[in-house]
Amino acid sequence: MKVYFDTLGCPKNFNDSEMAMGILENAGYGIVDSPDEADIIVVNTCGFINDAKVESIDEIFNMSAYKEEGKKLVVSGCLAQRYADELYDEMPEVDGFLGVNDYDRLPELLDDLCSENKDRFKVIDPCRIEELEIKARKLSDDPYTATLKIAEGCNNVCAYCIIPKIRGPYRSRKKENIVEEAQRLADAGCKELVLIAQDVSYYGMDIYGSLELPDLLHRLCKIDGIRWIRLMYCYEDRITDELIETMASEEKICNYIDIPIQHASDRILKSMNRRSTSASLDDTLGKLRKAIPDIHIRTTLIVGFPGETEDDYDILQDFVEKQRFARLGVFAYSKEEGTVAAEMPDQIDEEIKQERLDGIMVRQMEISLAYNENKIGSIMDVMVDERDEDGSYIGRTEYDAPEIDNSVIFVPLKEHRPGDIVRVKIEDAFDYDLEGREV
């Protein structure tokens, strides 16, 4: 039997799909690149905010057209975890629903599904905790960059977020298992590790009783073949002096960090149930920049949170102007059922949310352009991602996460493969991209 995976959402979802594909392949299933070739289609959904839910539902309906050809359709991921009962009743065309903690059950479930006289299934276990076998993960043919999940779930109780109810409590993986997986990735040709979790900075507290990300990073930096190690999803209040010193001292750790601060108004931060304050943000960002002068900090913001006034929004705008983040994304607050924020008074009109989002992004575009213009004339290491039709190459610097941040388009001196790191002289700059030529 052949299976096609259609994955939506964040890097954590793609990591889950790779594990699920490996489990199925080890069980004798074939993994194919097109739904046309498949006997079974698995849609791994996102259910974080409303737009993601709509996209996931649309994709399920798109894939359901293949039912006419006799194919089976299974829905997994966050949307399935969150709304399994409702979806099971309202989408009879779907043959099975699978939660985020249950991928190791897929071979047995699909075996049963494809046997005669087998009904639809719904397997959703929010409390189940299983660390999947490291060797199960199916890697791409040339995995020069790869996510490395160091934990699952979340213990934070942000007022706007449903993730803890979907993915369960925070569960760190053991260091030796993470290092073993990283070594396997390196042996397969991986040069860039992107560390992911719902909160990377909390790593180790649940099983070791202390914040162990610095020690884990030291271990990962010893692996031959790994050139870049990138940190995503670090909470500001857990960025310790030890972590900053580790980043500054270990050459393989990119001078890049993702810190989703969400807001800068103390009143809104408290209402969001965030532990940061405007002062603590200033302090931590200042420490990072002092220890690592060329660090590029990525952040995400939420505008239009319930009760956000014009004064709160002005504070956020001023903070963005003062901090001048190298990379920044903005979301309009999404009212999610089951969250504390959904029941708050003073919900903001969608039009006002969009105006506030646009206002910050216009300013951020100017900041991003200034960052890029400062790089003109410099020579930078660029990791090749792909070759363009015109013969040029598209890649990234250590300051840019794959699929998320800026690109460098450059004229080569010779042919390259994805993952090659080449020296590029920057000759032109745009709002979010750079151009240059190999030297």
Q: What is the mean pLDDT of residues 240-250?
A: 98
**Number of compact structural domains in the chain:** 4
pLDDT tens digits, residue range 279-299? 999 999 999 999 999 999 999
- Cα separation, 50 vs 367, in Å, equals 29
Per-residue pLDDT for 388 more than 70? Answer: yes
- Give the pLDDT score at 125: 72
Q: 154 and 119 in one domain? A: no
**Cα–Cα distance, 354 to 360 (Å, whole number):** 10
Q: How many CA atoms lie within 13 A of 202 on its CB side?
A: 17
CB 302, CB 329: distance < 8 Å: no
Q: Are residues 368 and 383 in the same domain?
A: no
pTM for the model: 0.91
Question: What H or E segment, with its residue span, contains residue 370?
Answer: helix 350-373
Residue 280 lies in a domain: no
Angle at 11 between CA 294 and CA 331, to 5 degrees: 75
Q: Confidence class of residue 51 from pLDDT cuts 50, 70 and 90?
A: confident
Asked whether the predicted pLDDT for residue 274 surpasses 90, the reply is yes
Residue 221 lies in a domain: yes
On whether both 60 and 171 belong to a single domain, the answer is: no
Give the rounded percent of residues in the chain with a pLDDT score beyond 90. 85
What pLDDT score does 141 carry? 76
Residues contributing to the annotated binding site:
10, 46, 78, 154, 158, 161
The verdict on residue 432 lying in a domain is yes
Q: Can you give the pLDDT at residue 130?
A: 57
Residue that terminates a domain, selected from 123, 153, 180: 123
For residue 355, the tally of other CB atoms under 10 A from its CB is 14
pLDDT score of 311 more than 80: yes
Mean per-residue pLDDT for 239-244?
A: 98
Task: Say what the pLDDT of residue 48 is.
Answer: 74
384 contact partners, CB below 8 Å, separation of at least 6: 393, 394, 395, 416, 417, 418, 419, 420, 421, 422
pLDDT of residue 124: 80
Residue 23 belongs to some domain of the structure: yes
Residue 298 placed within a domain = yes
The average confidence (pLDDT) of the chain is 94
The rounded distance, in Å, linking the Cα atoms of 253 and 247 is: 6
Residues annotated within a binding site for [4Fe-4S] cluster: 10, 46, 78, 154, 158, 161
Task: Answer yes or no: do 64 and 171 share one domain.
Answer: no
* Domain residue limits at 309: 291-373
Note whether 245 and 219 are within 8 A (CB): no
**pLDDT at residue 429 is higher than 80:** yes
At residue 99, the pLDDT reads 87
Write down which residue in 324, 349, 373 finishes a domain.
373
Residue 271 lies in a domain: no
Q: Which pLDDT does position 182 carry in this prediction?
A: 96
pLDDT-based confidence at residue 47 (cuts at 50, 70, 90): confident
pLDDT band per the 50, 70, 90 thresholds, residue 133: low
